Every structure is written in C-alpha cells, then in structure tokens.
Amino acid sequence: MPQVTLTVNGKRHTVEVEGRTLLVELLREKLGLTGTHVGCDTSQCGACVVHVNGDSVKSCTMLALQADGASVTTIEGLAKPDGTLHPMQEMFREHHALQCGFCTPGMVMSAIDLVNKHPEGLTEAQIREGLEGNLCRCTGYHNIVKAVAAAWPLMHGKTMPAAAE
Amino acid sequence: MGFEGIGAAVKRKEDARFLAGRGNYVDDINRPGQVYAYIKRSDRPHARLKGIDTRKAAAAPGVLAVYTGADLAADGVGGLPCGWQIHNKDGSPMAEPPHPVLAVGKVRHVGDPVAVVIAETKQQAKDAAELLEIDYEDLPGVAASTDAIKPGAPLVHDDVPGNICYDWHIGDKAAVDAAFARAKHVVKLELTNNRLVPNAMEPRAAIGECDVTGNYTLYTTSQNPHVIRLLMGAFVLHIPEHQLRVIAPDVGGGFGSKIYHYAEEAIVTWAAGKLRRPVKWTAERSESFISDAQGRDHVTTAEMALDEQGNFLALRVSTLANMGAYLSTFATSIPTYLYATLLAGVYKTPAIYAEVKAVFTNTVPVDAYRGAGRPEAAYLLERLVDVIAHDLGFDRIELRRKNFIPPDAFPYQTPVALQYDSGNYQVTLEKALQAADFAGFEERRRQARARGKLRGIGVSTYLEACGIAPSAVAGALGARAGLYEVANVRVNPTGDVTVFTGAHSHGQGHETTFAQVVAERLGISIAQVDVVHGDTGRIPFGMGTYGSRSLAVGGSAIVKALDKIIAKGKRIAAHLLEASVDDIEFKDGKFTVAGTDKSKTFAEIALTAYVPHNYPIEELEPGLEETAFYDPKNFTFPGGCHVCEVEIDIETGTPKVVNFVAVDDIGRVINPMIVEGQVHGGVAQGIGQALLEHAVYDSQGQLLSGSYMDYVMPRADNLPSIHVGTESTLCTHNPLGVKGVGEVGAIGSPPAVINAIVDALRDYGVRHIDMPATAEKIWSIIQAHQPRMAAE
C-alpha cells in the first residue's frame, strides 16, 4: 500500500493508505481525529472542511495521497495547548452558533478561512455568501453569521471597517 | 456566579466539547474487533425478488457473512412494528402489512434493504456488495397518492386493496353539511404539502455488539433509545430488555427522522449476535435520502363556509396522506391525531369535519418531520384564510381578528377533540405586525417596484400542540406507547447533582436548560448539575424527545423529582435543626426554620443524607435520590404570528425573503438564547419547505432529488436574519408553565412565506401557488401573464 507523510495539527505522521482513501478517512479512521465529520457524499455539505496549507478544503474531496507533504489543521488543532479557544470557536459559543454540533467543525474551519482572507472586512451578505458551501440544519445560520462578524475584529485586532461593502 | 436560573440566557454547557471537535457521535465510536456492514438496497421502486445469489460476494476478500431476508426469517426475526393503530370510519382497524427488516418476496421502494454484507473493512463490504446477483422482476410502480387510489393502480402490498392503509375521519359531518347548506359563502382551496427529506446533518449510524454472556449493546443515532430497546427487543429480535442496552450518544440533529426504529439497528444487532463481533454501519448521504423516513406529502381539498360578515361557520377537509411503502413507527398518527385535530387552529370555527385517507405508494416511508401534521394543518388554514380574503374581498388581517378565539374563552374546546388551556392570539398578531412594520409596507412595495422587484407581505397566525398526552387518551386513540417522561435526580454527597432524563438532546441544549431548572429550584450553580441522557443502561425507562415535549414533559418530571428531593431535605433539616418539618422553609439553597436564623445549606443536608450519623433513621431512609414519572394532563398549545416579506425579481422569478418576524407564545422561557436559536432553525426549515425543498419522485417511484445536488437545502445566502419575539401566556397544567419551542418555527413560517409570494404576485392573477415556490414556477406565472400586463 502506498504511504503518505503529512503534518496534522503540528504532528508529523506517515500512514499507509489505499489509493482511494480520502483525506477525511485518513483523519478520522487512521489518526482518530473524529472532530472532522462526514455529512454527505457529494462534497456539498462542508462538515469535513479542514485547512490544508492554510486554505479551507473539503477533506472528502481530496485523496489522502494528495496531501503528501502538506500541513493540515483540523478542529482539534485550533485551541491553544492550554485549552484557550480560537476566537472563532469562542464567538460560536458566545453567539449560540451551534446546536447539534455536527456541522460545527467544518463551519468553524470555513469561517476562519473566510475571515483570514478578508482583511478589508466582511458584510453580512459576504459572510452568507462565504459560508454557502457549508450546510447547517439547526441554526438557520442567523447566529453563525453573527459569530463570524464578531470574530473578525478579534482575529484582525481592530474594529471591522464600517463601510465594508 | 451571575443569575443562571429560569430566564437567563446562559451559554451552553455542551458547546465546549462540540467546539473542540470532541463530540461523541455514533460514527466516532469504534469497538475492538469491529467489522462493517454494507446494506445492499433496491435500486428499483417495485419488483418481485426472484432470487439473490450471494456466493461471489461471500467469497470476496474480507467478507465474514452475507445475509438476506431469508436468513432473518429462518432465525425468527420479526418485522418492524408500527406504534399507532388507526381505525377506519367503519371501526375496522387499518391495514398493517408486514415491514420486513430485509426485503422478502418483493421490494417496494428504492432504498428497500435487500441484503447485508459484513466484512473486515468498510471498503471490502462495499466492494463485495457489488458482486451480489439479484434477480428482480420489475413491476409497475406508483409514487403519487392521487395515482395510488385510482382503480387498477399497482398494489404496493398484494393484500391491501386500493393501497388504502386507512380511511379515517373526525368531527361532526352532519353539523358541517348543515352549515354549508345555509352559508352565504363557500370558499374552496386545493393544495399540496410537499414531501420533504429531513436531512439532519449527521447521517444515521449504528453499532451492534454482543458479549460472551449474550448481553447486547446498540449504539444508535436515536432520539429515544428506550423506545428502540422496547421495539427492537420485544418485537423484532426477541432479546430480553435486561440484556439489551441502547446508547444514543451525541446525535447530530433529528427533526423527527431519528425517532423511528429502523431496519439497520436490527441488522447490526442481530449480526453482532451471529458473528460475535461488533458490527458498524454508517449511512452515506445517498442512503439517507432513500432510507430516512421523509415528511409531509399531503394532497388536500379544504372548504370553508362563511356568513355574510365573514364569520367562519364550518370547515370541511379531505386529505390524502402518502405513507410510502411501509408504515414507519409513528407514521399513522401524523395525518390523523397530529393534523386533523389541529384544524380549528386559532379560530372559533364551530363545526369541522375532516377525512383522511392514508395511502401506500412505492416511495420511502413517511413519518414525523419537524412539526409533523401541525405544519400541514397550519399551512392549510392560513392559506385558506388568505384565499377567502382574496376571493370575497375581506381584509386578511381583519378576517383573522374577527374569527380568533378570544382571550377570555380559555379553556377552549374545539370541535376536533382538543381543549386549549391558554393563549392570546391577538397580542402575538399585534406584536408581529408592529415588529414587521406592516403598516408601512405599501410604501416598500412601491419602492421595490421602482427597482424592478415585486414585493409582497404575508402573515400566518398558527397554533400548535406539543407534548402529546395524556397516555390514557392517546392509548384510547390507538397509541401503543406511553407518553409520560421520567427523571431521576441524584444528589451526590457533596451537594452537586446528576440528573438522568428520559428526554434526549440532539441539538436542543438540555444539558444547559435542564441544569437551569435544577439550579433555580435547588439554589446551586449550573456547573454543579450534570444532565445525563441517551443510555438505557443508566436511565429509567423514558420516552425520548419528539413533538416539542422535552421541557413540558421531561422538564416537568425533573421538577416533580426535585419536589421530592426538597420534601425529603426538609425532613432531614427538621431533624438537624430540632424543628417541626412544617416550619422548615427552603429558599436560595438553604433550609431555614421559619422566622429564625437557624438554617442548613443544601450541601449540608446532602452530606447528612449519605453520612447518616445524626439522622432520623427510624422514619427516613438514607440517601438523597428521587425518581419521578410525569404523565401530562393535556397537550400544551403554543401559537403565534409569523410575518414574511419577500421580493421577486421580475426578470428571473427568483424570490428572496427580505424580512422575517416570528412572535411565538411558547409559555415560560427558560433560556431566551436557546429559544431564539430554536425559532431560527425552525423558520429556516419552513422557508426551505416553502421556497426550495422538494422530494421529487417520477411516476413509478424513482427519487429524482436524491442528493444535495438536486434536493435544495437552505444555505446561508438563501436566508434572511430573523427577528424573534416571544409572548408568554403560561401553560396552566404543567409545573413550569412551559409550552415548547422546537417546532413553532417550522409550523408558522411556510404559510407566511407563501402568503407573501401570492401577495407579491397579486397583479398576475395568482390565487394560490404550491410549495416550493421556486424561481422557475414564479417565472412561468409571470410569463403567462405578461400579455395581460402589457395590455393594461
């Protein structure tokens, strides 16, 4: 079986996988990182989003072998070692942006990438559009949108520009 | 510690593990020696099953076993039971054909399980299933309820004539006929309630396990593990209940779809017994679409009789309800006791008659989905009221006001069995109209028109019934289950508390709200309260979570148990303080001799109960742990008003919800943050039903919208921000005065959305539009009327 070597949440792993093994299967089944979820089989729901070399990626859409040499961050790798949550996680809690919790890891990973890539600020419409690849059946997205907007100033260390249109 | 009791918007306790990726969902669990089941499903809607050649699959690498319906039958495995027996108009019982765990003789819907392959790895099981040779003889299928009742339609079950499961009715037909005969006006509306796929984000999963002594454990994505234990143990696998433990750990959303006992639960448990290896199955989303019970699917004709002033005189309703191919666990109760009994709504209509035919078709079984019968009733009524206003020229708001049950009429007996305990429909209507700036709407319509948009506003004033009860009444109506809830409150020696509840949380936040109830009553912090649910090995026999019952029924059981704890605490305190028990008061976590400063803290009493050195041992047992079962006297009756404002792009027909206001009377609020979240989610599902979602079958029963590429789920950019208001008239018959909030959003919103769409299209000759009101449907209406508009 072919081998893949990758860094996950700062830790290097070398794993034997079948050619058809998906990145999400490697994370969940080989590395026991079950925080990343699988909610569909057509790359529509976004429950499996992780960061690969800093970009959000649906890990059900990528073969494990394609991640050879990559640095992957999952939901388990966001909090500091002392348990301090990432500002996005903290704002999800503050704004009740999760209910059953199943879409939450993918939603948080997508939201972090969205905020990172918009240092100029984000409107509500942009946040909604930016999260279009992640399905949530519980919250109606209302509080998720609030949480993302609230995380922006914490992540960029300044107030959100008012005229971000 | 700030205020954490009833009414505080405290942050959720469960969030810490979910946000860190440390939730414990069934698919996250792996048992030592575990093997994997892959279920081969029918890819055709209706066919005779002439033979299954399993030899190649059985010989494939890693395969431990291949089982078919014949293997289960040989082992005496029973069919999946239905939990509610409905009786026909003539008093005879409904048709209740067998529902085999694996198909026998025929397959009846796409997704019907035909065989199971069990292998060392998931991939091996799936690869081997490709080698199964199944000899089908295709039969004509039927998908629509309206087709299934036609003479000569294919029979889904050979021994169920006309595909009729039951032909049921409720209400006073003679009184309704008489009212129609003397009515000034009769307004008729035909409408469908579109079939939906629940789509909890966590696909169903199950792990069966059997130890050397024959004790079984089933991990399953269930809303009610005890119900699964009872149904599967007693009716399907004949495993004694004391040897069967069912664990429903973190569950990723349910919305009704995880209430039922499903074939896969029985398959993995039975196979684990055969193989003595843990057997795991996890649905792929494509499987969820063809194996999770679906929702709604009604075709209805409704007629209202009115006098000259617009007073409702009588309502006549005839509904075809699609059951799908088999009876799911509670399917039969949904279009009867959870639908037709709601047809009074918020109106004082004096006479109502409804008849419901439930019909078998070659489609996935239909059962409760968020709201379950009540959205169908609310949609019918609130569309009909708007159509009456349209046809007869009444103001749609005034027409509602005129026919509301007045606030001083409670308790109010409807003509369709229910007795409402409390409500105030005027006040929720006024609050919602104000929050939505209904009065200023026409100006917004004008402005939108200038931008090339058609703007409309719609109102719905809905009613729902939660916490189905009491058990005795439901039993008399055919329910085969109790409808109480249980709580065990265990005070630990140091004064913290573990609550074991029969309710199940799969997103509702019980670990927080139930802790708030306990904290308030005992004067402790929520950090000192641990709420345990979802494990038949730890919790007394409870009924689980569905029908917005958790707080009204499960919370009431907790309060009853807490009352017993406090009563016992008072007796211990009376002994320690050398006072009469009647003189002991309990407040803010202290037992005090009335009128003195002599007191003992709750923690001191707890410790004394477990270290009974100075204790009234002759008259009182040690320990501080109480169990209570609560069987409600009645349903609870939330109600309220939803207002929706839409804009339609004239060029493309694309509708957009631009404002949504929900004002719901849900009784006492425990945690307003969680309440708002529940309403947001319910409204999103309601907007989804009204504008986007539709389980579409071809005429034979092939599901055409079987993935997220075809079935349109609401996404963040399809939805608006939602304004939520609450109003509290208290429930009069439960100790917390609570009503329930889980479903109001999904019940009140679809008619508000469609009423807004029809209002936006008022210049295009539109009287009604069926859900989902897609851009294509709206565009076609606009196009069809273009010549007329151009001519004007």
Q: What is the pLDDT of residues B390-446, one digit of tens each?
A: 999 999 999 999 999 999 999 999 999 999 999 999 999 999 999 999 999 999 999
Contact A57, A49 (CB under 8 A): yes
Q: Which CATH number belongs to the domain containing residue A46 in this structure?
A: 3.10.20.30
Domain finish residue from B250, B282, B314: B282
Shared domain for B438 and B362, answered yes or no, is: no
Label residue B358 by pLDDT band (50, 70, 90): very high
Selected for mutation to probe chain A from B201, B250, B680 (highest A CB count within 10 Å) is B201
Q: Give residue-wise pLDDT tens across range A46-67.
A: 999 999 999 999 999 999 999 9
pLDDT attached to residue B296: 98
Shared domain for B541 and B595, answered yes or no, is: yes
> CB–CB of A35 and B22 under 8 A?
yes
Label residue B161 by pLDDT band (50, 70, 90): very high
Residue A67: which of A79, A55, A77 has the closest Cα?
A55
Instruction: Please give the C-alpha separations between residue B294 and each of B233, B325, B364, in angstroms, as whole numbers.
Output: 25, 12, 7
> CB–CB of B708 and A138 under 8 A?
no
> CB–CB of B285 and A39 under 8 A?
yes
Question: Does any CB of chain A come closer than 8 Å to the CB of residue B715?
Answer: yes
How far is residue B642's CA from residue B751's CA, in Å, rounded to a whole number?
Answer: 9
Enclosing domain of residue A95: 87-156
Question: Does any CB of chain A come closer than 8 Å to the CB of residue B713?
Answer: yes
Shared domain for B130 and B155, answered yes or no, is: no
pLDDT attached to residue B790: 52
A143, closest residue in chain B (CA to CA): B677
Is 60 exceeded by the pLDDT of residue B271?
A: yes
Is 50 exceeded by the pLDDT of residue B13?
A: yes
How far is residue B671's CA from residue B5's CA, in Å, rounded to a whole number?
Answer: 9
pLDDT attached to residue B788: 57
The reply to whether A29 falls in a domain is: yes
A71-73/A3-8 β-pairing: parallel
pLDDT attached to residue B786: 73
How far is residue B193's CA from residue B95's CA, in Å, rounded to a whole number?
Answer: 24
Q: For chain B, positions 224-283, list CB contacts with chain A under 8 A.
A: 250-253, 255
Is 70 exceeded by the pLDDT of residue B361?
A: yes
Shared domain for B676 and B530, answered yes or no, is: no
Shared domain for B239 and B186, answered yes or no, is: no
pLDDT attached to residue A38: 98
Shared domain for A69 and A8, answered yes or no, is: yes
pLDDT attached to residue A162: 65
Q: Give residue-wise pLDDT tens across range B659-698.
A: 999 999 999 999 999 999 999 999 999 999 999 999 999 9
The reply to whether A148 falls in a domain is: yes
Overall average pLDDT of the B700-706 stretch: 98
Q: For chain A, positions 84-123, list CB contacts with chain B under 8 A.
A: 85, 89, 92-94, 96, 98-105, 108
Q: Give residue-wise pLDDT tens across range B201-239.
A: 999 999 999 999 999 999 999 999 999 999 999 999 999
Shared domain for A71 and A105, answered yes or no, is: no
Overall average pLDDT of the A18-35 stretch: 97
How far is residue A93's CA from residue B15's CA, in Å, rounded to a whole number?
Answer: 6
Q: How many domains does chain A have?
A: 2
The reply to whether A161 falls in a domain is: no
Q: Which CATH number belongs to the domain containing residue B169 in this structure?
A: 3.30.365.10
Label residue B527 by pLDDT band (50, 70, 90): very high
> CB–CB of B201 and A100 under 8 A?
yes
Shared domain for A47 and A70, answered yes or no, is: yes
Is 90 exceeded by the pLDDT of residue A10?
A: yes
Q: How many domains does chain B have?
A: 4
Enclosing domain of residue B552: 484-630
The reply to whether A94 falls in a domain is: yes
Measure in Å the smallest separation between the Cα of A158 and chain B Cα atoms.
Answer: 24
Shared domain for B168 and B268, answered yes or no, is: no
Label residue A85 by pLDDT band (50, 70, 90): very high
The reply to whether B16 falls in a domain is: no
Overall average pLDDT of the B565-582 stretch: 98
Q: Give residue-wise pLDDT tens across range B621-642.
A: 999 999 999 999 999 999 999 9
Question: Which residues in chain B are contacts of A108 at CB distance < 8 A?
Answer: 19
How far is residue B563's CA from residue B546's CA, in Å, rounded to a whole number?
Answer: 25
Is 80 exceeded by the pLDDT of residue B609?
A: yes
Label residue B1 by pLDDT band (50, 70, 90): low
ipTM of the complex: 0.97
Q: Give residue-wise pLDDT tens across range B66-123.
A: 999 999 999 999 999 999 999 999 999 999 999 999 999 999 999 999 999 999 999 9
Question: Which residues in chain B are contacts of A79 at CB distance < 8 A?
Answer: 20
Selected for mutation to probe chain B from A27, A72, A74, A102 (highest B CB count within 10 Å) is A102
Measure in Å the smallest separation between the Cα of B660 and chain A Cα atoms.
Answer: 12
The reply to whether B21 falls in a domain is: no
Is 80 exceeded by the pLDDT of residue B718?
A: yes
Label residue A161 by pLDDT band (50, 70, 90): confident
The string of DSSP codes covering B333-396 is: GTTTTTTGGGTTTTB--SEEEEEEEEEE-SS--B---TTTTHHHHHHHHHHHHHHHHHHHT--H
Domain finish residue from A25, A45, A76: A76
pLDDT attached to residue B789: 56
Is 70 exceeded by the pLDDT of residue B506?
A: yes
The reply to whether B250 falls in a domain is: yes
Shared domain for B517 and B625, answered yes or no, is: yes
pLDDT attached to residue B353: 98
Overall average pLDDT of the B700-709 stretch: 97
Q: For chain B, positions 724-753, list CB contacts with chain A under 8 A.
A: 745
Q: For chain B, positions 158-197, list CB contacts with chain A under 8 A.
A: none
- Supply the mean pLDDT for chain B: 97
Label residue A165 by pLDDT band (50, 70, 90): very low
Residue A56: which of A107, A125, A9 has the closest Cα?
A107
For the record, the structure tokens of B792 come out as 């004007």
Shared domain for A71 and A94, answered yes or no, is: no
Shared domain for A42 and A61, answered yes or no, is: yes
Q: For chain B, positions 55-114, list CB contacts with chain A under 8 A.
A: none
Contact B271, A28 (CB under 8 A): no
